[in-house]
Chains A and B, each alone.
Chain A
Amino acid sequence: MEKLKLKIIQPQKIFLELEVDDVIIPGRDGDFGVFYGHTPFISVIRPGVLEIYNNNELTKYALHDGYVTVENNLITILCEVIESADQIDKSRAELALERAEKRIKSNQSDIDFRRAENALKRAVARITIS
């Protein structure tokens, strides 16, 4: 199988640069897979789990924001925050999850709903991979 190039860039550094078989990306409207020969494409990312498959090996990252472009079999992910499993403090993520759930359930009009929802998604992504 032909390989895709994957580049994950952060403002402070290039987080990752390698060749992969395929990638599952958490898009704003749902997860999608990118295989070799994908059409040129740009999508906004929602907080979620990024799955990278290479030689039947799966690596997962918690991806928090940003966007992804696909062109000529090069996947470029630009994000401000991305974490690998060993960088995550699970108990902290669980606390954050609880907090976010409470916030959304409280249903008060003064909370920033979108922000709470994003916090919830981030916490879920962190817990899933840790």
Chain B
Amino acid sequence: MGNIRDIKTRIDSIRNTRQITNAMKMVASAKLRKAQKGIINARPYADNINRMLATIKFKTKETHQKIFIQPKSDAKTALVVVTADRGLCGSFNSFVIKAAIQYMNDHPKTDLFCIGKKGFDIFKKKDVKMIKSYTGLFNEMNFNVSIEIANDLKQHFFMNKYDHIEVIYNEFKNIMQQNVIHKQVLPIPDVEELEGVSLLDFLYEPDEDEVIEELTNKYINVEIWRILLESSAAEQAARMTAMDNATDNATDLIESLTLNYNMVRQAAITNEIIEIASGAEAQNQ
């Protein structure tokens, strides 16, 4: 049963916690809306680039371009792991980190690029080669951040340090569901469907190589941007769900503790009445 004052303190502290988790849920849902809007806004741009790349690739069967040549099985990999900067978002970070560790075990020739503080904290303690890390960028999301990351990746890729660049991140499916996605960014993956490919004979200016170079540039920038937005939306959704559960649990706890509190209080009162009554009885005799 416990001490009546102890129970009261516990109820108060759980009530405070509930207030915080509830506020965090609200903040996450506001941020989620923003990230979702970003995803939708980035779609026309990304779709257009993908379509143009598919068109060019379709027309140039024979190519010397590195971005179109698929890697061999024992290739050198740059793995980009996207986690959040903060915790309190359920299994969001741990699933991505687990997937990354699994991948690195299977592919020993892998170097790491780490986006997000949570992943960085884990991997800096591990025996892995971390080339670069980016932390604290989810607070103020803007396109320049993705350009910076994309430039680093491009540089490494085109200097032949790596044969392919893979990304592991959380995809925003819906508020209840986030999927861990493993995706090859470079070279540009083979697309099966040729839907939307333009069959017109395009003239290239200045020439095909320069057009491909510019398209690739833009493609990586927007691909990284899209991944950051997806991950950010998924993080906020995960946090919303986690904080919603925490708030519910706090409510349940408060309920049962209040019941307990009332019982203890009732018992104390009954005790007191018995004492008074038996005292009075003793005097009457």
Q: A residues within 8 Å of B by Cβ?
A: 9-14, 27-29, 32, 39-44, 66-67, 69, 71-72, 76, 78, 80
Asked if B45 CB lies within 8 Å of chain A CBs, one says yes
Given contacts A13-B41, A41-B203, A71-B202, 13 further A-B contacts (CB under 8 A): A9-B48, A10-B45, A12-B38, A29-B206, A40-B198, A42-B202, A42-B211, A43-B205, A67-B52, A69-B52, A78-B45, A80-B147, A80-B221
Which A residues are in CB contact (< 8 Å) with B2? none
Binding site secondary structure of chain B: helix
Q: Which residue of B lies closest to A66 (CB)?
A: B218
Q: Which of B44, B205, B218 contacts A14 (CB 8 A)?
A: B44
Residues 153-203 (chain B) with a chain A CB within 8 angstroms: 198, 200-203
Which B residues are in CB contact (< 8 Å) with A39? 203
Determine whether the beta carbon of A44 is less than 8 Å from that of B44. no
Of the four ranges (under 10, 10 to 19, 20 to 34, 35 or more), the interface on chain B belongs to: 20 to 34
Determine whether the beta carbon of A42 is less than 8 Å from that of B204. yes
Asked if B14 CB lies within 8 Å of chain A CBs, one says no
Q: Which residue of A lies closest to B40 (CB)?
A: A13
Determine whether the beta carbon of A80 is less than 8 Å from that of B52. no
Q: B residues within 8 Å of A by Cβ?
A: 38, 41-42, 44-46, 48-49, 52, 143, 147, 198, 200-206, 210-211, 214-215, 218, 221-222, 225
Which B residues are in CB contact (< 8 Å) with A9? 44-45, 48
A14 to B42 alpha-carbon distance, docked (Å): 9
Tell me the minimal C-beta distance from B147 to chain A in angstroms.
7
